[in-house]
Amino acid sequence: MPATDLIETDICVIGAGSGGLSVAAAAAAFGVPTVLIERDKMGGDCLNVGCVPSKALIAAARTAHEMRHGASRFGIANVEPDVDFRAVMAHVKGVIASIAPHDGIPRYTAMGVNVIEGAGRFVDNKTVEVDGKRIRARRFVIATGSRPAVPPIPGLDGVPYLTNEILFDLTERPDHLLVLGGGPIGIEMAQAFHRLGSKVTVFEAQKAMGRADREMSQLALESLRAEGIDIREGAMVSSVSGEAGAITVTTGKGDEAQSVTGTHLLVATGRKLNTDSLDLEAGNVAFDRRTGIDVDGGLRSKTNKRVYAVGDVSGGPAFTHTAGYQAGLIMRPLLFRLPAKMNADIQPAVTYCDPPLAQIGMTEEDARQKHGKIDIRRFPLAENDRARAERKTEGHVKLVIAGGKIVGVHIFGDAADEMIGFWCLAIQKGMKPSDVTGYVPPYPTRGEIGKRAATDYYSAMARDPRIRKLIAFLRRFG
């Protein structure tokens, strides 16, 4: 092998999504020789076909919804928006384009990162090959993410269908969008397209938003259905048939079979890990095609100590922010030889429906199973002055308390995705309700809502006759 074909480096990162980019940038900032391999687009799924375009579409859809229904709350006439769907999708592409340079090859090259375009694969436990080049590294970081999983439904392979990878390339609005999957992607896109003028039907084989706290997910689903979105739970799809513009989804069998025909079909039934082309066996990297690379608590491969995994392939929560967190975590051993341990319990989750549903920590169901006796405290947005002023009073904050500590927080309501940030810190630091009651949020903000819920935890003290007697006794001394 010619010497020019071999690149020796300290760190080799495979995958330029959120986790991979964070590792490469941090390593380069400390002057560590780093190679970054990407077979598709820099920025990965999140920038190009995931978080960024979906949130841009949701923002446009929310604007349309507010024009139809929100203005009259303030004495302003509602109007039916003239939705130019092509222009909406141009807005989505424009947002991606505005962020892309931040994740682009020129920026990372300027940092000192050697960016190689192509599909990397292991040839042995310390070497990766990509487009004829071989990279030998002290450490490898696998951050290849995931892609849409397409279920083996009879007839599905014979009809045109959308996934998040091509959904944002649409230029004409679907008349009737059929959505397979009631998880975050399916629910978010269902509401967005409904608000932009599409009829939408969602099919979920089990419970929609099934990973969320049951009480809070029911609130969200009731709100979505009230808008006119047809969400069918327990709807196991038995077959798909038809052609472009006339696709039929059938659920159930025999006398219980029901069919719905729409113009477009979105498959949002989960994710499949991108490990197929890595030849992990050659690299002595143990993995499971469903759960990911077999790593220890520090995200290091149990079979090849040169290899770390971050993001979806690590087997942890499949969130962009988790990949970023994991990237920061593994920099401790990669650069400083310090120990690191992944904490899955401090990873927040948000479904960006409107109002959004956000959570951190344990659900009520999980907490009861683990701790037995728990305390639940709620406070409604309807009793918050800022929410009243903005006529956004739907939903509430729910605290799950066990052993005197806050172990879970769930918020359904306007700005829940922003409010959850404070509670991420509270869970991470093991805060008690008393810690939160000492927090001073500015008035009027929604930050007061959580404090009121925590304060309510101590409301029983005001009714305790022993406390009342103590106060009466102390009053005698002036």
Element at 358 (helix H, strand E): strand 357-361
- For 34, phi then psi, to 5°, come to -140, 135
Residue 341 labelled as part of a binding site: no
Q: Is 204 among the annotated ligand-binding positions?
A: yes
> In 223-315, at which residue ranges do the beta strands (DSSP E only) sit?
230-233, 237-243, 246-251, 258-262, 264-267, 271-273, 287-288, 292-293, 307-309
| 188 labeled part of a ligand binding site | yes
Q: What are 271's two structure tokens? A: 């994710």
| 277 marked ligand binding residue | no
One DSSP character per residue, 113-168 reads -EEEES--EEEETTEEEETTEEEEEEEEEE---EEE-----TTGGGS--B-HHHHT
135 annotated ligand-binding residue: no
Task: Measure the CA–CA gap between 454 and 371, rounded to whole angstroms.
Answer: 19
Residue 183 marked in a binding site: yes
Say whether 315 counts as a known binding-site residue: no
Q: Which residues of 94-117 are buried (b: 16+ CB within 10 A; e: fewer)?
A: ebbeebbeebbbebbeeeebbbbe
On whether 185 is known to bind a ligand per the annotation, the reply is yes
Alpha-carbon distance 409 to 424, whole Å? 9
Q: Is 305 annotated as a binding residue?
A: no
15 is in an annotated binding site: no
Helices (H), 147-266: 164-167, 184-195, 214-227
- Tell whether 2 is in a known binding site: no
Residue 144 labeled ligand binder: yes
Cα 372 off chain centre by: 29
Whether residue 184 is annotated as binding a ligand: the answer is yes
The answer to whether 270 is a known ligand-binding residue is: yes
Q: Is 186 annotated as a binding residue?
A: yes
The secondary element (H helix, E strand) that includes residue 16 is none
Residues within the annotated binding site for NAD(+)?
A: 181-188, 204, 270
Residues within the annotated binding site?
A: 55, 120, 144-146, 181-188, 204, 270, 312
Residues within the annotated binding site for FAD?
A: 55, 120, 144-146, 312
